[in-house]
Amino acid sequence: MNIGRKITLGIGIILTALSGCQTPQPPKAPNLLYVFPDQFRNQAMAFWDTPEFEGSIRTKADPVKTPQLDLFASDAMVFTNMVSNCPLCSPHRGSLMTGLFPGSSGVMLNCNSSRPVSSLRTDVTCFSDVLHESGYETAYIGKWHLDFPTPNDPANPGNYVDPRRPAWDTYTPKERRHGFNYWYSYGTWDVHKDPHYYDTDGKRHEPKEYSPKHEADKAIAYLKNETGERNPDKPFALFVSMNPPHSPYRSLADCMEEDYDLYKDIPVEKLLHRDNADTQMPKAKSAPYYFANVTGVDREFGRIVQQLKEMGEYENTIVVFSSDHGETMCSQGIKDPKNSIYTEAFSVPFLIRWPGMNKPVTNDLIMGSPDIMPTLLGMLGLKDKIPPVHGFDYSDVLKGKEDAPAEQSALYIRNYDGEKDSVGNVVSYFPVARGIQTHRFTLELTIDKNHQLVSTKFFNDQEDPYQLENLPVDKNNPDVQQLLQEMAFWLKRSDDPWYKEQILSDWIKYDL
């Protein structure tokens, strides 16, 4: 771990020159820019293999071109152990917005019209609600994927906006936007060069261009306030959710040719050079298209950050780059790109820079999806506005305060569809697997419908960073007992079904 670099922190405040009896002006509240592309794996950033970051993660980085993220990393705090606790689009987003684990956020499965059981609660205080109520101009651009789709097409009432069944895409009405007063979004629609969006008033837009570029253009227009999108006297909180590098990644219809050209002539064995990658899988042919989208997202992120700099707001803005989950990309020989405890899916990027930060640093804090909301509210000076959450406010840890408490593990969650009603709609979910990750180990327990243990995964990540050797699990092993104790803590804290139903209580001592 390259965590020896010292953190030099402070609050950079420029005081107006005062004369006579002039009253000093209070410092402007910091802005927030939160950019999170979908399915962007933590290994897909080139700077990990540079001398400055050598050893920060235990494995090779992908051979990608990410010049803008490399530049930002040289000016930011870079997390080495950020995880997506339930590595799927909707569950992570639910935790990001609520600070709660999926069983309490209302979003325990990916949202579509066959799953009324999974939708962001309307009765919970979200990240954006707090920001709005604290005087922020709040904006959301891009993929939302937090609503149970209903037939509420603004242009065709009584109809879905998505022709597919089940419907995945949806329109989010104003009453479900949780305090976002600028809206340019959609539910989920995986057509990178033919995206569509619904604006604040429900009008549909079809720009016919690469979605990250269009979303960056809209973000830049918002920052410039080109058409009065925001009150310039208020701080802003802008969330930008890009869909790439989420699938599809099969052809030039899915990425920009200029980005594909960077990878098209590289043998797949060199693109997928990590020790656990199976280059014989049919999916291996997707690698150049996936990495092309990584580079495309990198460029558009850089454009948004550059706009902040040009308008003089970069030094007064907390900037975050992250993702909702990773991408296995042929690792472990599995087809599922996400929804697993393997590092490639579970680990996500998290880069943050805040006002007054003047030296880059890596941070090996284990932080998860529900921690983002309280931590960023703490960084924004809104500690007293944090609602009841499962996550922790780690803002003191980020700022380098001595003796700031920090957890040493992260919970892993995998849910499946549960019971269905007479028309086939999912009305419950099944908590099929739970796991725990520490700085040293990864452990997963999987159960059947009778709540009996059917399989385990257990890796010593220090000695086996590519998770190639699944170790036997003995519940009397002191290391396993410690992991199970950590798991019990999180399951109880999150009021998880495993805790409520005392699942595998002969393994997990919930009463300790």
- Is 175 within 8 Å of 183 (Cβ atoms)? no
Asked whether residue 238 falls in the same domain as residue 118, the answer is yes
Asked whether residue 421 falls in the same domain as residue 300, the answer is no
Q: What is the CATH number of the domain that holds 133?
A: 3.40.720.10
Residue 27: exposure state from Cβ atoms within 10 A (0-12, 13-18, ≥19): middle
- Is residue 247 situated within a structural domain? yes
List CB contacts of 258: < 8 A, sequence separation 6 or more.
none
Reported as a single tens digit per residue, the pLDDT across 400-437 is: 998 888 999 999 999 999 999 999 999 999 999 999 99
Residue 468: exposure state from Cβ atoms within 10 A (0-12, 13-18, ≥19): exposed
Total domain count, the chain: 2
- Coil, strand or helix at 150: coil
| Whole-number pLDDT of residue 7 | 36
Question: For residue 196, is pLDDT > 50?
Answer: yes
What is the rounded average pLDDT of the residues 225-251?
97
What is the rounded average pLDDT of the residues 152-180?
97
- Is residue 140 situated within a structural domain? yes
- Is residue 445 situated within a structural domain? yes
Q: By residue range, what is the domain housing residue 471?
A: 410-500
Asked whether residue 44 falls in the same domain as residue 93, the answer is yes
Reported as a single tens digit per residue, the pLDDT across 120-158 is: 999 999 999 999 999 999 999 999 999 999 999 999 999
Reported as a single tens digit per residue, the pLDDT across 23-49 is: 555 678 999 999 999 999 999 999 999
- Is residue 303 situated within a structural domain? yes
Reported as a single tens digit per residue, the pLDDT across 317-371 is: 999 999 999 999 999 999 999 999 999 999 999 999 999 997 889 999 999 999 9
Write the Ramachandran bin of 197: left for phi over 0, alpha for psi from -120 to 50, otherwise beta. Answer: beta
Asked whether residue 113 falls in the same domain as residue 194, the answer is yes
| % pLDDT > 90, the chain | 92
Asked whether residue 185 falls in the same domain as residue 60, the answer is yes
Which among 336, 368, 398 is the end of a domain?
398
Asked whether residue 281 falls in the same domain as residue 304, the answer is yes
What is the rounded average pLDDT of the residues 99-109?
98
Asked whether residue 394 falls in the same domain as residue 414, the answer is no
Which among 342, 364, 398 is the end of a domain?
398
pTM of the model: 0.94
Q: What is the CATH number of the domain that holds 455?
A: 3.30.1120.10
| Whole-number pLDDT of residue 403 | 83
- Is residue 459 situated within a structural domain? yes
- Is residue 89 situated within a structural domain? yes
| Whole-number pLDDT of residue 405 | 86
Which among 367, 398, 429 is the end of a domain?
398
Asked whether residue 447 falls in the same domain as residue 302, the answer is no
Asked whether residue 168 falls in the same domain as residue 278, the answer is yes
- Is residue 506 situated within a structural domain? no
H-state helical runs in 225-275:
257-260, 268-271
How far is Cα 348 from Cα 368, in angstroms, rounded to an integer?
9
Asked whether residue 361 falls in the same domain as residue 482, the answer is no
Asked whether residue 414 falls in the same domain as residue 392, the answer is no
| % pLDDT > 70, the chain | 95
- Is residue 135 situated within a structural domain? yes
Residue 21: exposure state from Cβ atoms within 10 A (0-12, 13-18, ≥19): exposed
Confidence class for position 2, pLDDT limits 50, 70, 90: very low
Asked whether residue 311 falls in the same domain as residue 414, the answer is no
